[in-house]
């Protein structure tokens, strides 16, 4: 319909140019400038002009006109200001309340109607409205490489709704609207490198990215040179590799948080505002609670959102000053735990035992000789590691056990000094197979007990000698096992003295809840071992675990092992991240040690896996320095929800854990 690809067809049959000119300006700009730059934008080729009543330079439906009887007058006021007979698109600017605009469309005052700043639930409310005549043609939202809105985009596409991106350059720093502490998008090194390759500006790359993924994008600038540059977005194309790299920048950073609405909503606390025609404009409850980065209230926030209750945060800066904030970042463990272990190198589990906060991971690819596990485990103990992590799956417990026993024999450690973790593999999840599997590990280790025995992966596979049983078509053969029955078998192993503590690995919060809510539960899991690193910081799962006194143990904490059978090789290298590198340089440490220290300071037990003796020795230096609150905040900001270890062998099983958000 449009060979140049410069327009997108809306669900009502009209077309919208995929590149728009945004006219919002900072307060300091004179309104007359809107006249000049809009004329210039049209002259250089823009055919999509976006404005709003709230911009006071006039088109969109602002919050003060959301009552149905005020909608048409608001549009007519805009048309009068514009001196036009109709607008092409009229949208609800912000969803504090919603009413249909269908009558305005029928009256010919607007060709199309849509929404802005709606989430998928609010869109569904419109789409499921009885007697719906026209569905929204678009949803205009903040969208840029740091907030790529991929899920909302998929939702909109599935309902034939066009996503329109504002804030696409992430660059306007208006203090009343934007968090000034967020990074500047157009200074991102990935965007800059792609721009340099195409001989374009980072801004053009950011705009082109949206167009190629099917998003209509608004380019806002009052600088004529940049306006002219932005129209060049059609002069080049990004490669699939460029698109994938920009996809990887997503950090869920929202520049426009609209915090101004808290001031409005405070006035509505526990009040229904009802008019004489029985129209309820707002029905809002506000719950005011202490909420800050150390108590982020994520579960309560999710609950409130699901019931349209606004959470109002007090104590957002912390109530005891910078000194206490620093202390909190220095150790995320309880006062009792710190008192029991002055060096802060162990954390108390919910069954009374202690686990060292830094562990040595022994997994290695199949091509690495098993004899190396013996040598590196002995070396790790010699340099100070007291927490050794292995598993039946790794097929090296015989060598790891030999290393532990040899260091006991030469007097380096006593058995009680070493905390050893083993794991129950998926082929032994049937209750009757649990104890024999643990006894087999103990036999290989030549130890009387393990300190921690955990379910390795919640997906049950067919029992037998094969670690990965497959059918004739090469597909995994699953088994059906109730994880609660498996857990009961682990409890019996603890009672029998074969393991001191029991836990799980790779469980999502719903699977943990299944265990925690099991009738007759004797011991709750002491830990959940999961992939966790700055690109996948598991903040929600960490909060959930802390709320149930379950320790989160991080594997893949350095995000660096690239085993093709397990890891997507196209994902970025964590240890090459410029933020980590800068913090490491500041502290005269390696990026790996910074990544490990980050976990310890947020209350996560962390496994450092390396078969390189130099790196093993470096990793133990994690206790020799501290990250500042600013460092911690910067690393928190790296989260991109990138999972290196997707464990795809479990896809198709009802207990595959990674389809849940956390």
Active site residues: 394
Could you tell me which residues come within 8 angstroms of residue 133 by beta carbon, excluding any fewer than 6 positions away? 100, 102
What is each CA distance from 317 to 263, 313, 325, 327, in whole angstroms?
Answer: 18, 10, 9, 15
DSSP assignment of 142-154, as one string? E-BTTB--HHHHH
Q: Give the dihedral of Cα atoms 650, 653, 655, 656; nearest 10 deg.
A: 30
In 10 A of CB 477, how many CB atoms? Answer: 14
- CA 295, 301, 303, 304: dihedral to nearest 10 degrees? 130
553: which strand partners? 529, 605
216 secondary structure, DSSP code: E
Q: Which of 218, 213, 71 is nearest to 156 (CA)?
A: 213
Nearest to 627 by CA among 586, 576, 574: 586
Cβ atoms of residues 634 and 594 within 8 Å? no
Strands of 61-161, DSSP E? 87-92, 110-116, 138-142
Residue 442 near residue 449, CB atoms below 8 Å: yes
Give the count of beta carbons closer than 10 Å to the beta carbon of residue 47.
Answer: 13
Nearest Cα to 127, choosing from 95, 160, 153, 151? Answer: 160
Quick one: the chain helix, strand, coil %, rounded to 5?
A: 40, 20, 40
As a whole number of angstroms, the distance between CA 392 and CA 467 comes to 9
Choose among 40, 373, 386, 489: nearest CA to 222: 40
Q: Which long-range contacts link 282-291 to residues 24+ away (Cβ below 8 Å)?
A: 282/96, 282/97, 283/308, 284/308, 284/309, 284/310, 285/309, 285/310, 286/310, 286/311, 286/312, 287/311, 287/312, 288/312, 288/313, 288/314, 289/313, 289/314, 290/314, 290/315, 290/319, 291/315, 291/316
Strand 499-505 and strand 19-22: the pairing is unpaired
DSSP string across 267-331: TTTTEEEE-TT--EEEEEEEEEEE-BTTB--HHHHHHHHHTTEEEEEESTT-SSHHHHHHHHHH-
Q: Cα dist. 524→47, 514, 545 in Å? A: 62, 11, 11
First vs last C-alpha separation in the chain = 42
C-alpha to C-alpha distance for 387 and 384, rounded to whole angstroms: 9
| Helices 202-212 and 240-247: angle between axes, nearest 10 degrees | 100
């Amino acid at each position: 319909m449009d060979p140049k690809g410069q327009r997108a067809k809306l669900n009502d049959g009209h077309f919208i140019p995929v590149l728009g000119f945004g006219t919002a300006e900072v307060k300091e700009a004179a309104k007359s400038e809107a006249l000049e730059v809009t004329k210039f934008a049209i002259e250089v080729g823009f055919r999509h002009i976006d404005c709003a009543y709230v911009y006071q330079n006039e088109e969109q439906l602002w919050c003060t006109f959301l009552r149905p009887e005020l909608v048409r007058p608001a549009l007519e006021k805009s048309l009068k200001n514009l001196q036009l007979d109709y607008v092409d698109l009229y949208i609800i600017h912000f969803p504090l309340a919603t009413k249909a605009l269908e009558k305005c469309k029928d009256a010919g005052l607007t060709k199309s109607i849509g929404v802005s700043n709606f989430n998928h639930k609010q869109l569904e409310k419109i789409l499921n409205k009885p007697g719906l005549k026209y569905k929204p043609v678009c949803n205009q939202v903040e969208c840029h490489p740091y907030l790529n809105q991929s899920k909302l985009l998929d939702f909109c596409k599935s309902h034939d709704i066009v996503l329109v991106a504002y804030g696409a350059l992430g660059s306007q720093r208006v203090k009343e609207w934007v968090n000034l502490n967020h990074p500047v998008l157009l200074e991102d090194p990935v965007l800059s490198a792609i721009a340099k390759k195409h001989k374009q500006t980072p801004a053009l790359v950011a705009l082109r990215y949206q167009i190629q993924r099917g998003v209509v994008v608004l380019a806002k600038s009052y600088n004529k040179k940049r306006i002219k540059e932005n129209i060049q977005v059609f002069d080049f194309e990004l490669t699939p590799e460029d698109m994938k790299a920009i996809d990887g920048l997503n950090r869920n950073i929202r520049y426009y948080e609209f915090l101004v609405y808290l001031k409005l909503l405070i006035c509505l606390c526990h009040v229904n505002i009802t008019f004489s025609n029985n129209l309820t404009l707002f029905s809002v409850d506000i719950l005011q609670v202490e909420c800050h980065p150390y108590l982020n209230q994520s579960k309560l926030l999710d609950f409130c959102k699901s019931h349209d209750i606004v959470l109002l945060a007090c104590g957002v800066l912390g109530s005891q000053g910078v000194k206490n904030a620093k202390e909190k970042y220095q150790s995320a463990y309880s006062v009792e735990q710190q008192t029991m272990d002055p060096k802060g190198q162990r954390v108390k589990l919910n069954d009374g035992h202690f686990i060292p906060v830094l562990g040595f991971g022994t997994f290695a690819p199949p091509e690495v000789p098993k004899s190396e596990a013996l040598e590196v485990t002995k070396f790790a103990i010699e340099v100070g590691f007291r927490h050794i992590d292995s598993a039946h799956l790794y097929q090296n417990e015989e060598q790891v056990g030999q290393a532990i026993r040899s260091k006991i024999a030469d007097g380096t450690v006593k058995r009680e000094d070493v905390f050893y973790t083993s794991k129950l593999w998926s082929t032994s999840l049937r209750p009757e197979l649990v104890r024999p599997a643990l006894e087999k590990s103990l036999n290989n280790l030549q130890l009387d007990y393990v300190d921690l025995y955990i379910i390795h992966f919640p997906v049950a596979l067919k029992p037998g000698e094969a670690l990965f049983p497959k059918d004739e078509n090469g597909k995994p053969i699953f088994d059906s096992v109730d994880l609660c029955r498996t857990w009961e078998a682990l409890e019996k192993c603890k009672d029998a003295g074969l393991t001191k503590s029991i836990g799980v690995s790779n469980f999502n919060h719903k699977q943990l809840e299944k265990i925690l809510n099991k009738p007759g539960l004797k011991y709750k899991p002491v830990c959940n071992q999961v992939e966790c690193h700055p690109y996948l910081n598991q903040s929600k799962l960490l909060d959930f675990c802390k709320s149930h006194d379950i320790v989160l143990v991080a594997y893949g904490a350095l995000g660096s092992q690239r085993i093709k059978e397990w890891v997507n090789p196209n994902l970025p290298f964590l240890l090459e991240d410029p933020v980590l590198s800068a913090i490491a340089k500041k502290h005269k440490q390696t990026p790996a040690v910074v990544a490990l220290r980050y976990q310890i300071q947020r209350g996560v037990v962390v496994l450092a896996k390396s078969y390189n003796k130099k790196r093993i020795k470096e990793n133990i230096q994690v206790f020799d320095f501290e990250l500042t609150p600013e460092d911690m905040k910067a690393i928190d900001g790296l989260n991109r929800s990138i999972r290196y270890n997707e464990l795809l062998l479990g896809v198709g099983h009802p207990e595959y854990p990674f389809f849940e958000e956390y």
